[in-house]
């Protein structure tokens, strides 16, 4: 039996700003853009990984959620406490420079980590932490 990753989700508070970052800065392609009951889900992914999708979803994707719950999720998102994503790259330093030059919110400049990668970190426009890892043997 084979099990493969198909989709993962990351909360965003503004899909248009998120698209400007994930599509225009990171270079991910838009695969789907769906609205339902006043909410929106946008699926993006790397052209080199056609079977792996990152779904940009509302912070609380429940049309029946209470206003208090929606507010609590929005506050957690603003603090960067909901989710994070780790991308792999073949050139951490070049990736860092491209994202920084596009105005990315830098959390960590490229550094060699003791667990075998060189990585850097940014926050996306919604506050989520994104890390970019390069194995040090490359």
**HEC string of 87-114?**
EECCCHHHHHHHHHHCCCEEEEEEEECC
pTM: 0.89
Q: Does the pLDDT at position 137 exceed 80? A: no
* Percent of the chain's residues with pLDDT above 70: 99
Position 49 pLDDT exceeds 80: yes
Rounded Cα–Cα distance for residues 5 and 115 (Å): 23
Q: Are 92 and 133 in contact (CB under 8 A)?
A: yes
Percent of residues in the chain assigned helix, strand, coil, to nearest 5? 25, 40, 40
- Per-residue pLDDT reduced to its tens digit, 69-98: 988 988 888 888 877 899 999 999 999 999
pLDDT value at 18 more than 70: yes
Look at residue 39 and tell me whether its pLDDT is greater than 90. no
Query: Can you give the pLDDT at residue 138?
Result: 55
Cα 23 vs. chain centroid, distance in angstroms? 11
Q: What's the full length of the chain, in residues?
A: 138
Q: What percent of the chain has pLDDT over 90?
A: 74
> In what helix (H) or strand (E) does residue 118 lie, and over which residues does it extend?
strand 117-123
């Amino acid at each position: 039996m084979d099990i493969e990753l198909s989709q993962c989700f990351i909360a965003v508070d503004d899909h248009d700003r998120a698209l400007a970052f994930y599509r225009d800065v990171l270079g991910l392609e838009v695969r789907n853009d769906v609205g339902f009951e006043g909410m929106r889900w946008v699926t993006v992914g790397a052209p080199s990984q056609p079977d792996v999708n990152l779904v940009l979803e509302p912070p609380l994707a429940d049309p029946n959620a209470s206003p208090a719950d929606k507010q609590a999720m929005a506050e957690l998102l603003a603090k960067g406490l909901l989710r994070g994503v780790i991308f792999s790259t073949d050139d951490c330093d070049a990736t860092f420079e491209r994202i920084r030059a596009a105005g990315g919110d830098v959390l960590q400049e490229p550094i060699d980590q003791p667990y075998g990668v060189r990585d850097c970190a940014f926050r996306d426009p919604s506050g989520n932490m994104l890390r970019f890892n390069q194995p040090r043997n490359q």
